[in-house]
Structure 1
Amino acid sequence: MSNSIYIEYNFKVDPVQPASDILIAELGEVQFESFVEQEDGVQAYIKKEDWNPNILDDLEILENPLFKIEYEYSEIEQENWNATWESNFNPIQVGDQCVVRAPFHEKPKVDYDIIIEPKMSFGTGHHETTHMMLQHILDHDFNGKSVLDMGSGTGVLAILAAMKGAKDIDAIDIDNWCYLNAQENVERNNCGHINVFEGTADLLVDQKYDIIIANINRNILLEDIPAYVKCLNKGGTMFLSGFYVQDIPQITERCMEVGLKFEKNLEKNNWVAVKYVF
């Protein structure tokens, strides 16, 4: 595969929170796909083919007088992503059981040691949604379960599910680079029974799962929840994230329409990860 050209934005944000979280959410709505949170702001990445010079014109946060946001942008080759990432990535510990780290980090003494090299993919454990989904997986019984990871990014959630004993696992992402990267990370963590696919919920035909994990964004979830539920075994569990506390009523209403019941949610910096049962 030839290397794609990305546009890298460097945003300086004051105050950093909650502005950075709002900025990331709004950028995600206009096809930015990867983010690195900094002490003073955010680095954001979008494929050049999806970009235009006016792409930020409709971002409400840039007009908000409560926040001061400055930015500059430049082209970056996809192959340079690792250097950018390595300069910013520290190991992430989730509880006392799990660490998400890079190959160059020292091996920790934990039950679940996940090695991730994300390149242009989302899902290092740094973002609140990924971190909370890892928490949900740690707290849930995956032994012998069949699992779907939608919007799998680096594959980190599918990998932890495999380490916790899940038997049949499908990981799906619409982005080609995520698809290739997840395959690499699955192999790196010796999780040969994870099947990685490139595509959307349209791939879900006649499959059945005990557990479905989807860390995407609110609009995609609202559209695709019915497709997920058609694949969920009765008595199954669905973990959803990628949205804010204020989005829970809308997401839960959609889930209830197709027979899911709210069980609990985790919350971190206004982001949430919600558990539903079927």
Structure 2
Amino acid sequence: MDYLEFKIKCLEEFREILIAELSEIGFDSFLETEEGIDAYTLAGDFDRSAFDEVISQYSDAAQIELSEGKMEKINWNAEWEKNYDPIAVDELVYVRASFHPSQPGFKHEIVINPKMSFGTGHHATTFQMLRHQGTIDHQGKRVLDVGSGTGILAIMAHLLGARQIEAFDIDDWCVDNGNENFDLNGVKTRMGLGTIREVNPKGPFDIILANINKNVLLDEMKIYSDLLVDQGYLLLSGFYTHDVEDLEKLANQLGLKLITQQSKDNWAALVLQKK
């Protein structure tokens, strides 16, 4: 399926806001540019009315100029080489592309060649999920990565000593890219294709990772809870700080208690435990 490309010129202070808003309506890939952002979504997932509503809401304040087009799926390495910089998550992990050199001083290193997949470590949600993972014992654990994207969180679980990892995504492009990244990092797991209901992973799992968006998380949280062992951990991100209350309320109803949370650039990430 083709991707739709939207080149959005805007004021710098509105880049993160627009990325957040567009993520909520199905956009899954972004590039920050000198003039604003480039945003991408599968043609079949595009909701024109929702998109127009977002653009209209910020048009004047952000001084938006918009152009759009369609593009076939291509190898995105050349584009990412122009825009992709390594990421350091504290001293825990250094995330780089294969065309970057290694850096000493980190406990772990992840090599990611992102194509049209979300989750490179640049976005605040992925950064925070990696940081949360570093606080949880993965040694010998079964881990499920929901909506895996580039596979970066599954790779982190592998580096932290997980015994078994399952990962999947709804986009075949992400699956292909994720499996390439698994190979780069010595992960034997193969990424599945589909939603959690279609893939139907077999629990129980000790740790579940879900960096998606609020609506999907609310819809699927009971499934996550059912798949978790007692005292197991559920790590969530992909939503705003003001969405935490809604997610925590449902989590409590399902026997999941908030252990810790953090925020970055108005994005939140939670660690919940099944009690």
Same fold (TM over 0.5): yes
Given the superposition, is the C-alpha separation of residues 90 and 256 from structure 1 closer, same or farther in structure 2, using an over 3 Å criterion?
same
Find the residue that maps to 2:27 and give its secondary structure.
Answer: coil
Deviation track 1:166-213 (CA, whole Å, cap 9, x = no partner) reads 011101111111111111111111111x34211112133542100011
Aligned to 1:168: 164
Residues in 2 aligned to 1:41 and 1:60: alpha-carbon distance in whole angstroms: 13
Q: Judge conservation of contact 2:95–2:121 (CA < 8 Å) in 1.
A: yes
Find the residue that maps to 1:106 and give its secondary structure.
Answer: coil
Q: Judge conservation of contact 1:201–1:228 (CA < 8 Å) in 2.
A: no
Same amino acid, percent of matched pairs: 41
Q: Judge conservation of contact 1:103–1:117 (CA < 8 Å) in 2.
A: yes
Residues in 1 aligned to 2:268 and 2:34: alpha-carbon distance in whole angstroms: 22
Matches within 5 A, 1:33-44: 33-44=28-39
Residues in 2 aligned to 1:54 and 1:254: alpha-carbon distance in whole angstroms: 29
TM-score, reference length from structure 2: 0.93
Task: State the Cα distance separating 1:91 from its structure 2 match.
Answer: 0.5
Between stretches 64-73 and 213-222, larger displacement belongs to: 64-73
Residues in 2 aligned to 1:240 and 1:212: alpha-carbon distance in whole angstroms: 9
> Residue 218 of structure 2 is aligned with which of 216, 222, 244?
222
Matches within 5 A, 1:231-242: 231-242=227-238
Find the residue that maps to 2:117 and give its secondary structure.
Answer: coil
Given the superposition, is the C-alpha separation of residues 157 and 120 from structure 1 closer, same or farther in structure 2, using an over 3 Å criterion?
same
Aligned to 1:45: 40
AA in 2 matched with 1:245? T
Q: Judge conservation of contact 2:92–2:131 (CA < 8 Å) in 1.
A: no
Find the residue that maps to 1:256 and give its secondary structure.
Answer: helix
Aligned to 1:31: 26
Find the residue that maps to 1:87 and give its secondary structure.
Answer: helix
TM-score, reference length from structure 1: 0.92
Aligned to 1:85: 80
Task: State the Cα distance separating 1:239 from its structure 2 match.
Answer: 0.5
Given the superposition, is the C-alpha separation of residues 30 and 270 from structure 1 closer, same or farther in structure 2, using an over 3 Å criterion?
closer
Given the superposition, is the C-alpha separation of residues 52 and 130 from structure 1 closer, same or farther in structure 2, using an over 3 Å criterion?
closer
Find the residue that maps to 1:153 and give its secondary structure.
Answer: coil
Deviation track 1:125-163 (CA, whole Å, cap 9, x = no partner) reads 000000000101112211111101101100000001100
AA in 2 matched with 1:26? E
Task: State the Cα distance separating 1:55 from its structure 2 match.
Answer: 6.2
Aligned to 1:201: 196
> Residue 239 of structure 2 is aligned with which of 236, 240, 243?
243
Aligned to 1:177: 173
Aligned to 2:251: 255
Given the superposition, is the C-alpha separation of residues 136 and 205 from structure 1 closer, same or farther in structure 2, using an over 3 Å criterion?
closer
Matches within 5 A, 1:144-163: 144-163=140-159
Deviation track 1:213-260 (CA, whole Å, cap 9, x = no partner) reads 100000000000000110000010111000011000000001011000
Aligned to 1:57: 52
Q: Judge conservation of contact 1:169–1:195 (CA < 8 Å) in 2.
A: no
Residues in 2 aligned to 1:69 and 1:188: alpha-carbon distance in whole angstroms: 39
AA in 2 matched with 1:58? E
Residues in 1 aligned to 2:45 and 2:218: alpha-carbon distance in whole angstroms: 23
Residues in 2 aligned to 1:61 and 1:272: alpha-carbon distance in whole angstroms: 25
> Residue 119 of structure 2 is aligned with which of 118, 123, 132?
123
The reply to whether residue 99 of structure 1 matches residue 94 of structure 2 is: yes
AA in 1 matched with 2:98? P
Task: State the Cα distance separating 1:45 from its structure 2 match.
Answer: 0.9
Aligned to 1:8: 5
Given the superposition, is the C-alpha separation of residues 246 and 207 from structure 1 closer, same or farther in structure 2, using an over 3 Å criterion?
same
AA in 1 matched with 2:82? S
Residues in 2 aligned to 1:189 and 1:147: alpha-carbon distance in whole angstroms: 17
Residues in 2 aligned to 1:227 and 1:54: alpha-carbon distance in whole angstroms: 30
Gaps of 5+ in 2: none
Gaps of 5+ in 1: none
Q: Judge conservation of contact 1:119–1:181 (CA < 8 Å) in 2.
A: yes
Given the superposition, is the C-alpha separation of residues 166 and 59 from structure 1 closer, same or farther in structure 2, using an over 3 Å criterion?
same
Q: Judge conservation of contact 1:225–1:255 (CA < 8 Å) in 2.
A: yes
Task: State the Cα distance separating 1:69 from its structure 2 match.
Answer: 1.5
Residues in 1 aligned to 2:86 and 2:3: alpha-carbon distance in whole angstroms: 25
